[in-house]
Amino acid sequence: MTPINLGTYLEKFFSEREIRLSELYPGLSINRLKDELKQYARQRKVNVDDLFSLRYIPSNTNPITYFFDSLIKGYPLEYIRGRAHFYKSEFDVSETVLIPRSETEILVETAASFLRDWMKMSDERLKVLDIGTGSGAIIISLLQEMPRPLEAYATDISKDALEVTRRNYFNLRYTIPRESSLRLVHTDRMSDLSEENFHLIVSNPPYIKKREDRDFVHNQVDTYEPHLALYLEDDEYDEWFRTLFKQVLHSLYEEGIFIMEGHEDHLEELANVCSMIGFSSVKVLKDYTNRNRFIFAKK
Ligand SMILES: C[S@@+](CC[C@H](N)C(=O)[O-])C[C@H]1O[C@@H](n2cnc3c(N)ncnc32)[C@H](O)[C@@H]1O
């Protein structure tokens, strides 16, 4: 093979696979790909100043070859880079956590607006819980948004996910008010926190039914993202949420608020369950595409 520089290789790689790449990575352009490769190389301590004029020879030991091979397989760009943008920060991600989604930012904005209003009315230190925290994107963004310290808790059933949360909290600690705290708890939903009370509980739990909904899940998501973060068994689904809602209701202070992301096809039904078990006001909120996406419930 005649040696060529990386820029030429990348352009050829892109033009030969443009249709396939745009199916796998909607909106991917040559410029975005260059940018992704630059960021990827920078993280691997490669000098990126003249990256695209360097001679490139594919080899199994070359990290740049890993980048191209991963793209051919449809591996998510966020996992290739090990980083995902959410709300106002970059978060570390690995295959043990869900890649945080932009619609979840609505949950953060809604929760942040309540916390700010409460902070205006009272000096009390507010306690907040995130159930199924994954990368920690929700709870860390909330901690960043608040003008005053929060006492925050986050749970996950995956120990590996909590390691990623811990890393993100450590990396972004400097963006969070110093007196804030975050306690990470390895538990099922919020089982080990029944003695605690919270002003606000948020959650983006697994909410896809494994049989009924799986055909509608993008192949790339199903192949690479953790099934623990995505799916629940169909026959356990209703009971899983009923238990969650009861735990949440028990642990909220009076007038406390619960905001949960969920599946557009199942949210109305789950909202009814919330009302039946005793939340005083329950609403379904929509996402950017006008689909049912969140339950908002007040104790
Ligand atoms: C949809 S992901 C959400 C991750 C993150 N909160 C976000 O919004 O990007 C669901 C998370 O819940 C966790 N999870 C699944 N089952 C759980 C359970 N029974 N108790 C606690 N966490 C659970 C998964 O490990 C995963 O991290």
Q: Give the dihedral sign, CA 165/171/177/180.
A: positive
Residue 2 has pLDDT above 80, yes or no: no
How far apart are alpha carbons 15 and 3 in whole angstroms?
Answer: 19
Tell whether 89 is covered by a domain.
no
- Ligand 1 surroundings by CB, under 6 angstroms: 97-98, 100, 104, 131-135, 137-138, 155-158, 161, 188-189, 204-206, 228-229
Q: With respect to residue 242, please indicate whether it lies within any of the assigned structural domains.
A: yes
d(CA 290, CA 297): 19
Out of 87, 106, 143, 228, give the residue to mutate to test ligand 1, the one with the largest number of ligand atoms within 8 Å of its CB. Answer: 228
Q: Is residue 85 part of a domain?
A: no
Axis crossing angle, helix 137-145 with helix 159-172, rounded to the nearest 10:
30
263 shares a domain with 127: yes
pLDDT in the model for residue 119: 94
Dmax over CA atoms of the chain, in Å, equals 71
Structure tokens at 64: 């740049």
Contact status, residue 251 vs residue 196, Cβ threshold 8 Å: yes
Please tell me whether residues 128 and 235 are part of one structural domain.
yes
Domain span including residue 63: 4-74
Q: Is residue 83 part of a domain?
A: no
Structure tokens at 296: 């908002």
Give, as one character, the DSSP assignment of residue 287: -
Specify the amino acid at residue 176.
I
Q: Find the 35 Cα to ligand 1 centroid distance in Å.
A: 30
Number of folded domains that form the chain: 2
pLDDT digits (tens, 9 = 90+) for 140-192: 999 999 989 999 999 999 999 999 999 999 999 999 999 999 999 999 999 99
- Contact between 127 and 153 under an 8 Å Cβ cutoff? The reply is yes
Q: Residues 42, 115: one domain?
A: no
User: Which tens digit of pLDDT belongs to each residue from 249-278?
Assistant: 999 999 999 999 999 999 999 999 999 999
